[in-house]
Chain A
Amino acid sequence: MKIMKNIMATVVMGLAVGMTAAPAVAETPANMLVIANRIDDITTLDPAESFEFASSDVSRNIYSKLVNFNPLDLKAGYGPDLATSWTVSEDGKTITFTMREGAKFASGNPVRAEDAAWSLQRAVKLNKTPAFILTQFGFSPENVDKTIVASGNTVSVTTNKRYATSFVLNSLTATIGGILDMKTVMQHDVNGDMGNAWLKTNTAGSGAYKLVSWKPNESVTMEVNPNWYGPAPAMKRVIVRHVQESATQRLLLERGDIDVARNLNPSDVGGITGEAGIKVASELRGRLMYISLNQKNPILAKPEVRQAIKYLVDYKGMQDSFLKGQYVIHQNFLPATFLGAIDDAPYSLNVEKAKALLKKAGVGPFEITAGVREAQERLEIAQSLQNTFAQAGIKLNLTVGTGKQILAKYRSRELDMYVGAWGPDYPDPQTNAGTFAFNPDNSDEAQLTGSLAWRNAWDTDGLTKEVEAAVVEPDRDVRAALYGKIQREFLKVSPFAILFQRIEQTGERDNVKNLNLGGAITAVSYWPVTK
């Protein structure tokens, strides 16, 4: 009995220590922004290499670019950042940027035209995954020293042919366009890697913030860059905490231990709606949910079958149920708010029409297999498709796996069907047109694994040429109209059914103002945030 008393005393004492350390009502400091987000996709912070969502969020706040988006006016499109103005040559191939005077890196080094040129040259020479955003303009490791050149206070960029200026500038707003402090980075050059190893875990930018630490799967901490040319941000410190579970994020938000929760599922969003001290913000993002049909399957290659399948999707049912608040119906490959975006939505669930089309194609009941990544909403979409497909005699089997497992098969053209998502790489229509509707070589040997059209063995039915024409069109309105036309044709003939566009719902403490996630075109910006 004495032992039991001792045990109880120790437990009570322990709890007392624990309890006194936990405040009854927590609150983050007024000049600190604490965000809960899943950041386990960060594998590198080098702008020439990083291509994940969470690392893009970090990069946007640490690296300034030649041109950039104002988070308080995304509709205006790109505007001056480290370049205050630019001119375009007569032949349309050279853009010359004039650099901002007096800008400095976080290290204190001045931002020079040489830094800008070197940063872009470096990205091309390293040739990591996002390099295609620059190399698509004809830059290569062999020619980039001559095609991206610094001279005095200017940087000139010469492309291999005339492109729409908006296309080039939109591409430079991507993460890969981040301008690096060449002097600082080259101090960490190892065996000619141009600081790549060092920049995976460090930063050398001139943006509003600088990196304090990145602890993988734990947190990213940034603090204000005193050398930034813009107005001093109200949030002196930004901490992004990795919190995997939606329920945990919700609890943290309700307790006031965080200011923003970015991965709340619909039921947790419903739970906090109307709660005192908390608000829910919704923002349309660029990610699209789609299904695609491999044209190597002779049944799926029939135009009537492609059409039929588009009528076997319960768009509204899904939007209004398990996707409620998280996705909105969108059937075109350019996300809403992009230049050239249209809002045509000709398809809805129509089993009878689908059956008629299948009959016209001379196709009886058949079976196909779809690859699905093991993410909740994708599985639910796939299960809904199983149900509606079955009503027209199509048996849909699902192969579920991790992203890496399913992607490997998708890239090898091994799947009949794919249920997945696609996010734009940069805020220009070419990013999605160039992957959904562009396939210059449909052979297996071409291995254009980055192209969705290629992955589905679709030769684009002539749309490749139209995409090539749109990307060089200098007139913005004409260009927009061209993409509209491509999308309308795409709706009719493609083996893709674009289903939904993502809405990101965040839970925020109601004192958080001006948090902009970047819409469909860019990443989150912390510098305008106030509390």
Chain B
Amino acid sequence: MPPQFLRFSIKALKTVGSILITMLGLMFVTFLIGRVMPVDPVLAVVGERATKEVYDAAYHAMGLDKPLLVQFGYYLWDVMHGNFGMSLLTARPVSQDIARVFPATMELASMGTFFGVFLGVPLGVIAAVRRGSWIDQVARVVALVGYSMPIFWLGLMGLLIFYGILGWVGGPGRVGIFYTDIVPVRTGLLLVDSLLAGDWDVFKSAFSHIILPASILGYYSMAYISRMTRSFMLEQLSAEYITTARVKGLPERTVIWRHAFGNIKVQLITVIALSYANLLEGAVLTETIFSWPGIGQYITTALLSADMNAVLGGTVVVGLIFVLLNIFSDLLYQVFDPRAK
């Protein structure tokens, strides 16, 4: 076996092993928390008026009479066979629920991150290049507002102004009621599915509904990304090689974008990946305000009702996202910075 292939295989196995151990630990801790927290999962099923007989029957049916490790063992065995159990709240397989709610969050988070990067990176670069100028001050205030303003308030104000008063965007929900369930679900991303189905009306409605919550999340994301970009750029712009490049007579555009920005790409990848992961785990408040049926609301509702199958399923998905995004950003490091190989 060629040595390169061997090295690659070992590295791949280590990565997979690391993922599995991380996920196992995450699931066990979450499982444990779910079992020890003072919320009665049986009441979520039988309701508060259940007699002891009904309560006990449900308690046994849910396997809660078995030792914790045994319960976890059963759960792990099912997960390994692709069965995340049934959600107590939705009466559906957790995997089915997640297939429904995760694309909704992914669509929102992707668009929000896109806005955040699209606006935040150039803003951060310009603020760094024009340090101390009015552009820099405006950029810093914009970032500060994004950081400090409660997203709940921003969402409500956005709805009030752009939907309630101006009528510029669609209201809460993913799409207008007239367009519900019209396009077949292929990816779960409504914008993509409507384009695949060639239904321009559904696409327009979906876009008009997503633009506001995505902008709110994008603003939040932009605040973070622009601050970090500015900080990274300032560090680079004060380096000697930049002075050298300027002295050599290189165009300022080349100095900024090719040299300075080129050296912060790797750091930015981490920042953007983390920002995206944060949004992917579900922006509960945004989802609540905009009645967006995403994973944030799903996990939160499940947690408050002790629907542990749903909580664990959601946790696995979110944990996997973080892990995979970390791996992805590691790979991108190697593309942008050969020294990282």
Contact = CB atoms under 8 A, between A and B. Distances in A.
A239 B177 contact: yes
A251 B48 contact: no
A447 B172 contact: no
A404 B159 contact: no
B73 interface: no
B54 A129 contact: yes
A25 B293 contact: no
Interface in A447-478: 447-450
A244 B170 CA distance: 17
A369 interface: no
B298 A217 contact: yes
Contacts of B38: 401, 405, 408
Contacts of B118: 7, 10
A131 interface: yes
Contacts of B173: 241
Interface string B163-191: 11001111111001110110000000000
Contacts of B208: 17-19, 21-22
Contacts of A201: 91-92
Contacts of B81: none
Given A129-B46, A404-B306, A243 B163 contact: no
Contacts of B92: 201, 216
B47 interface: yes
A25 B45 CA distance: 42
A247 interface: yes
Contact of A18 (B54, B168, B288, B289): B168
Contacts, number: 167
Q: How large is the interface on A (under 10, 10 to 19, 20 to 34, 35 or more residues)?
A: 35 or more
B22 interface: no
Nearest to B174: A218
A20 B204 contact: yes
Interface string B42-65: 011111111111110100000000
A314 interface: no
Interface residues of B, number: 63
Contacts of B147: none
A257 B293 contact: no
A209 to B, nearest CB: 16
A298 interface: no
Contacts of B204: 17-18, 20-21
A130 B91 CA distance: 17
B167 A24 contact: yes
A22 B169 contact: yes
29 contacts: A14-B211, A17-B208, A18-B208, A21-B205, A21-B208, A22-B170, A29-B178, A32-B177, A34-B177, A43-B88, A43-B90, A130-B49, A197-B91, A200-B91, A201-B91, A216-B92, A216-B97, A217-B297, A217-B298, A239-B177, A243-B291, A245-B156, A251-B163, A251-B164, A252-B171, A254-B164, A404-B305, A449-B50, A450-B49
A411 interface: yes
A425 interface: yes
Interface of B: 38-41, 43-55, 57, 87-92, 97, 100, 118-119, 122, 126, 156, 159-160, 163-164, 167-173, 176-178, 180-181, 204-205, 207-208, 211, 288-291, 293, 297-298, 301, 304-306
A248 B54 contact: no
Nearest to B294: A217
Contacts of B122: 3-4, 7
Contacts of A217: 90, 293, 297-298, 301
Given A18-B208, A20-B204, A411-B48, A244 B40 contact: no
B301 A40 contact: yes
Given A201-B92, A217-B297, 7 more contacts: A18-B169, A21-B207, A32-B177, A248-B289, A404-B39, A407-B43, A407-B48
A128 interface: yes
Contacts of B177: 28, 32, 34, 239, 241, 257
A182 B187 CA distance: 37
A175 to B, nearest CB: 12
A10 B39 CA distance: 49
A19 B164 contact: no
A450 B51 contact: yes
Interface centre among B92, B118, B170, B172 (most CB of A within 10 A): B172
B168 A22 contact: yes
A19 to B, nearest CB: 5
A219 B293 CA distance: 10
Given A17-B204, A128-B54, A200-B91, A221 B168 contact: no
